[in-house]
Amino acid sequence: MLNRRDTLKFGLATAGASLAPSASEAVPQSGLVFPDTFEPSIVTRPSPPSTPFVAPLNVMPVAQTVDPGTLDPAPDPLRHQRFDDFPPNKFYREVISEFRWKYHPEPPYGDGHVGREGDPEIGTFSWGFNGITPGETYHANYDEPIFLRRENHLPDVGEAKANFALPSVTIHLHNAHTASESDGIPQDFANPGEFWDHHYANFPAGFDKREIMSTLWYHDHRLDFTATNVYAGLSGFYLLFDERDSNNERDTNPKAFRLPSGDFDVPLILHDVQFDENGQVVWDFFNPSPTATDPHDVGNSGGATNNFGPDFGYTTNGMIGDKFTVNRTIQPYFDVKRRKYRFRILNGGPSRLYTLHLEVHPKRGKPYYDDFTILSTDGNFLPVPLVKESLSLWVAQRHDVIIDFSKYKSGDMVYLVNSLEMRQDGAGPSGRQLEEDDGIMQFRVRGRKVRDPSRVPRRLRKLPKVDMSEVRRERLFVFDYDNGLWTVNGRLMDPNRIDAKIEQGSAEVWTFRNAGNAWAHPVHTHFEEFRILEVNGRPIAEDDVLNSRKDVVSLGPNDEVVFFGRWRDFLGKHVMHCHNVVHEDHAMMIRWDIVPVGEGD
């Protein structure tokens, strides 16, 4: 096991080096856009200390329906595409507001309590849904359309305490097969005092059962303010179930997967967050007024010095926090029974990328690394479960995994750890593996082995066919950096400019190319999953997690990724963008529309 660790370490270090050559070796410092001497607040002003693994894991409650008669005004079918094809039979209401949330029980974060427990005047100002962050977890079923009203009760600009964010929201359901007006595109925002209605039809793309999805999430997508609004707390899970992934580990239907369900199916959302000395969440932009210092060289091009310190910049590169949170709790612990669990692990951003491992610390004996059994990527089941020693998790990506705690003993500790080092400005990986892993969360194995009715099936979901004869056209998108900003094909986002007109029902082949050699982009396109055909000219191996349906491309330095996608069932506006949400806001995003046949470009 010790050798394995060394193998792992060296193997990844080599891979890392080829992924992004260390900047100091590749180019002289004076040519760097972000010199290594640039020090963001994560370095100059670390968050107050907090003891790891003393905060219990926050498990979000499941959202419950409301009586549709209580929605005033009533839902209006004339405002939704295909409303009558998919009449909703479940109605929900979400109130978005500002409140104080305790990320940790210790001061200055908390008062011995976490979340909304304890003194309501203690905790950091956060935004959330129905009084909690992350919001309630939706349990939705295929063929059961949902109607959801989201009301914005946030304070106005100038009154909101989380003042780095904009109290105007549009909540995107990532990556639902949903009409434009219900998708939560950046333009469809609701200001304080307004509501927006969402109609989720919950049917698979093209009515093809192979297109069924499972782990979705919802988050803010506000034009110019996505990064800050999600960071303030606006994220949550939306889980879709069907006959096979039936949310019942005791299901007697022979087609059912019988994956761990109920208390043993736990969504985990990872956000890295930065706090000030009072335990308030900070965004890099909002910091105390800089004070004048002696001019000092920070490695800027042309030798321009900085006369102000600590050195804060309005961040266009990314935002890295020094506190790892899971379900908006700093480094939590979770008591687990000795049986199988399904964890749905999501990187909620804003900018950090992870390589996750399981590190086992037996009560007696030496620590070692263990494997994940991976069921899905980006919320889409793989053809077969894959056993892997690590998970690559870029922003907005999801992996459902099985961890079987029955093989450990009571008193053993299992840690979810990260080994990927990020550039401190958040623009991408540093190209190095961490010397010491970051501890994300702790599983405490407790008690005797228990009866476990759940299973891991040998086969999961078949992939839809890629039929190249359906392809109407190809498109190339180049992701680059220009003038402190992030461009797609040399341009910034304009919501009134259509960058691609895609004909309804057609397929296209898209190429994403990263023209940068020192930054990374998790690129997401809305509405339908796609199939990656090639990464840097190589096809995808069968036992690769990329051999799946995807909705986020990991576009590393100089990478080129080609995929096949289809656009079916609805018309209207959507977007494709970098999910390093700071890049998205500055303004690495395009608008594409699904248009009737014959009107495409």
Partner 1 sequence: MTDRRKFLTGMPAVAALGFATVAGSSAARAAAEVKAAATRRAANVIDPKLRDAFPSLPVTDQDGKSHQFYDSLIKDKIVVLNFMSIRDEAQFPITAKLSKLAGHLGGKLGRDVHMVSITRDPQRDTPENLKVFSEKFGAPKGWSFLTGIHQDMKDLSLRMYRMGHAHKPGRRKVDVVFYGNGSAGTWGAFPVDIEIDDMAERITWVMPSKRAEKMPHRAGPRVLNAINGSNNNREI
Judged on CB neighbours under 10 Å (0-12, 13-18, 19+), 113 is: middle
In the block, which residue shows the tokens 């969360």?
441
Using the minimum distance from each CB to partner 1, give the nearer residue, 194 or 474.
194
Nearest approach, Cβ of residue 284 and partner 1 (Å): 10
Return the bridge partners of 272, or none: 324
Q: How far apart are CA 586 and CA 389, in angstroms?
A: 35
Q: How far apart are CA 504 and CA 47, in angstroms?
A: 49
Using the minimum distance from each CB to partner 1, give the nearer residue, 267 or 464.
267
> Residue 53's CB: how many other CB atoms inside 10 A?
17
Using the minimum distance from each CB to partner 1, give the nearer residue, 378 or 438.
438
**CA torsion 64→342→426→488, rounded to 10°?**
-70
Q: How far apart are CA 429 and CA 433, in angstroms?
A: 9
Distances (CA, A) of 81 to 179, 196, 211, 558: 6, 15, 20, 40
In the block, which residue shows the tokens 């409650």?
61
Using the minimum distance from each CB to partner 1, give the nearer residue, 346 or 374.
346
Nearest approach, Cβ of residue 536 and partner 1 (Å): 27
Using the minimum distance from each CB to partner 1, give the nearer residue, 33 or 478.
33
Residue type, 147: F
Q: How far apart are CA 101 and CA 104, in angstroms?
A: 9
Nearest approach, Cβ of residue 490 and partner 1 (Å): 6
144 in Cβ contact with 90 (< 8 Å): yes
In the block, which residue shows the tokens 């990020």?
422
Nearest approach, Cβ of residue 137 and partner 1 (Å): 10
Nearest approach, Cβ of residue 25 and partner 1 (Å): 20
In the block, which residue shows the tokens 């304070």?
155
Using the minimum distance from each CB to partner 1, give the nearer residue, 81 or 511.
81
Nearest approach, Cβ of residue 5 and partner 1 (Å): 8
Nearest to 534 by CA among 544, 526, 524, 525: 544
Using the minimum distance from each CB to partner 1, give the nearer residue, 232 or 535.
232
Nearest approach, Cβ of residue 540 and partner 1 (Å): 33
Structural tokens at position 461: 């979901």
Structural tokens at position 270: 């990872």
Q: How far apart are CA 76 and CA 31, in angstroms?
A: 57
Nearest approach, Cβ of residue 522 and partner 1 (Å): 21
Using the minimum distance from each CB to partner 1, give the nearer residue, 73 or 537.
73
Using the minimum distance from each CB to partner 1, give the nearer residue, 109 or 564.
109
Nearest approach, Cβ of residue 262 and partner 1 (Å): 15
Question: Strand 380-388's sheet: what is its strand order?
Answer: 329-330, 323-326, 265-273, 340-349, 398-404, 372-377, 380-388
Nearest approach, Cβ of residue 377 and partner 1 (Å): 27
Contacts of 497 (CB under 8 A, 6+ apart): 591
Consecutive H or E run containing 561: strand 560-566
Q: Is the dihedral of CA 180, 184, 185, 191 positive or negative?
A: positive
Q: How far apart are CA 457 and CA 462, in angstroms?
A: 13
Using the minimum distance from each CB to partner 1, give the nearer residue, 158 or 537.
158
Residues comprising the chain, all counted: 601
Nearest approach, Cβ of residue 511 and partner 1 (Å): 21
Using the minimum distance from each CB to partner 1, give the nearer residue, 251 or 438.
438
Using the minimum distance from each CB to partner 1, give the nearer residue, 476 or 485.
485
Nearest approach, Cβ of residue 586 and partner 1 (Å): 6
Nearest approach, Cβ of residue 550 and partner 1 (Å): 26
Q: How far apart are CA 364 and CA 3, in angstroms?
A: 19
Per-residue three-class SS string for 402-457:
EEEHHHCCCCCEEEEEEEEEECCCCCCEEEEEEEEEEEEEEEEEEEEECCCCCCCC
Using the minimum distance from each CB to partner 1, give the nearer residue, 7 or 536.
7
